[in-house]
Amino acid sequence: MTEEVIRVRGLRMRYGDVDVLTGVDFGVRRGEVVALLGPNGAGKTTTIEILEGFRKRSDGEVTVLGADPENADEDWRARVGVVLQSWRDHARWTPRALLSHLGTYYAPYSTPDRPRPYDVDELLAMVRLQDQADQKIRTLSGGQRRRLDVAVGIVGRPELLFLDEPTAGFDPEARREFHELIHRLTDMEDTTVLLTTHDLDEADKVADRILILATGRIVADGSADELARKVDRDAQVKWTIDGQHFVHSTSDATAFVRELLSSNPNVEDLEIRRATLEDTYIALVRSVESGHGVAPIDAFAEAG
């Protein structure tokens, strides 16, 4: 079994008389990209801040990279990268100078297996800021500053990266480049990524697993396809024969299409559609918030 990087059991958080988290349980394995989704106010940022060691929990067990974040030391922090929702404006610095300066804090924690930090020119190229490397940060566009946020978060070559709404303000091209960067980090560096996002298309594209947080707990845990099957087990097959359109729902799309094609050589415009992640997310959250509830999918537990 792949090493467990994050394990959360019975996590609770109370603000005054309000219970925000009422018993959160999940795990994350090394090299996974996991997206934490949920309505506004569900406790996503609170959960992330507890895992980062920025906020004390009310109750529960939390282990991140083998340590309790509340009591973690500087060596632990050097292994963790954080990209917050908004940037801190180091207006008089340049990206090159800022990243070079921050890199000095990580150098003492280098190991033969994981040298830290990144080379600054390599890092600037990774986030597509090489042409702005020596500009004052105050002259950068909002999207460029957000790329710099990402660079700051990964300058220490983290083993675990937390991303809170990472592509807010990105244009479509920058968002695609960011997704490629995430895949590079996981494929080449074996980085584990936990991100929050309201962009369901983004979660579908980059995440290995989706966690849905609602009413203070994880109500669904699985790949986008697993969650879609949870909500609607049937796929919708559409096709055309001699200009006539057909639609059929089936629980076994592969077998149905195989039989369809073997008996109808004139099939055109064949399309198989399952519930999108947006369909799934809305259905699950509405079900839970209405009090009907759903049986959570625990892909992590099943795989383990």
Q: What is the pLDDT of residue 292?
A: 57
Cα separation of 144 and 82, whole Å? 17
Helix or strand or coil: residue 221? strand
Is the pTM above the cut of 0.75? yes
C-alpha to C-alpha distance for 217 and 284, rounded to whole angstroms: 13
Q: Is residue 294 scored above 60 in pLDDT?
A: no
Q: Which amino acid is at 76?
A: W
pLDDT in tens, 8-30: 999 999 999 999 999 999 999 99
SS3 state of residue 174: helix
β-pair partners for 161: 81, 193
Condensed to tens digits (0 to 9), the pLDDT of residues 212-244 reads 999 899 999 998 888 877 766 677 899 999 999
Does residue 303 have a pLDDT over 70?
Answer: no
Confidence of residue 298 (pLDDT cuts 50, 70, 90): very low
Question: What pLDDT, in 10s, does the model give residues 190-216?
Answer: 999 999 988 888 898 899 999 999 989
Residue 40 confidence (pLDDT) above 90: no
292/148: higher pLDDT: 148
By percentage, how much of the chain surpasses pLDDT 70?
A: 93
**pLDDT greater than 60 at residue 295:** no
Phi and psi, residue 39, nearest 5°: -65, 165
Spatial distance between the Cα atoms of 162 and 141, rounded to a whole number of angstroms: 23
| pLDDT of 159 | 95
